[in-house]
Amino acid sequence: MPNRIDCAPSSPSAALSTWACGDVYNGKSMKINEYNLIQLIQGIKDPIVGTEWVTLLDSVGFKDVYDNGLPDIGKPNGQRPSKKEYLKKRFLEINGTENLRAVLERLINSHPEFEHVISDNIKDGGYRVLEEGNKYVIVGGCPQPTQQVRTEAYFENIEKQVINDLDNARVSIHVAMAWFTNQRIADRLIEKHNQGLDVKVVTFNDYINAKSGVDLADIPHKTIRGTRGGTMHDKFCIIDNQKVVTGSYNWSDNAESKNDENAAILYDNERASDYSVEFRKLFKDNNI
């Protein structure tokens, strides 16, 4: 049975400043990118029941009521949301405000087992969890040094650059590739998967990949059609949610040895998060 979150404010105005249990909130706003926010929700949603989520979020100003299900968030036909849908809606609404920090601090103090998943998903925003006395607090969020965004372009020996980037991956590699027939690159993905990295691949469901595509049996992968009825024509790879490899270059033998191709390497956390959100949509797509 999960620990109950006791987070009712002492008065309506206190919801934004002082908790009834005595925790005084420091009033600093907090914002993390959408990719990390959704990863965070995925990691914390299940141990807590719906009624407690509603109570927690109402404590920072919402007026939701749990009535034999999570409250309406505007889904078609008045359908009740899943827990993930409800939390995504509400967390996006408080992202960029002081209430996000308040909610996360309450969570981590009621559920210390969340410390790892919360820490992992707030660090890109310049935040970290500290233990002060007998409680956890989230610090940071002061102006951070601007990331040096840069782009590199390649027009030959692209396979070598791709493999080098894969070798440098430390956490995750997510690939959306229309045509994938280069087994040398595939073997490197399998190596990284066997090292424990989060490796996922989406390719186009067509004759070329069915006949000549690489063997991806050892790693999570999907073959899909285009989401709008045409071709799944994407060609991008997100590494550690920090770097994107994209361009005209399919991961195919023809692209490497015969075609005129280009590849760009984007070192940009925000753009990497944009690509990660799109990859998640593709990987969940049922149009196979």
Confidence bin at 145 (pLDDT 50/70/90): low
262: containing domain: 150-284
| pLDDT greater than 50 at residue 56 | yes
Are 273 and 36 in contact by the 8 Å Cβ rule? The answer is yes
Same domain, 93 and 22: yes
CATH value at residue 209: 3.30.870.10
Confidence bin at 262 (pLDDT 50/70/90): very high
Going by DSSP bridges, is the β-strand pair 221-224/198-204 parallel, antiparallel, or unpaired?
A: parallel
- Whether 1 maps to a domain, the answer reads no
Same domain, 95 and 180: no
- Give mean pLDDT, residues 12-28: 37
Q: Of 121, 140, 159, which marks where a domain is finished? A: 140
Q: Of 105, 140, 175, which marks where a domain is finished? A: 140
Per-residue pLDDT, 287: 54
Q: Of 140, 161, 179, which marks where a domain is finished? A: 140
Question: pLDDT tens-digit profile of 159-171?
Answer: 999 999 999 998 8
Q: 148: burial class by Cβ within 10 Å (0-12, 13-18, 19+)?
A: exposed
Number of domains the chain is built from: 2
Same domain, 128 and 163: no
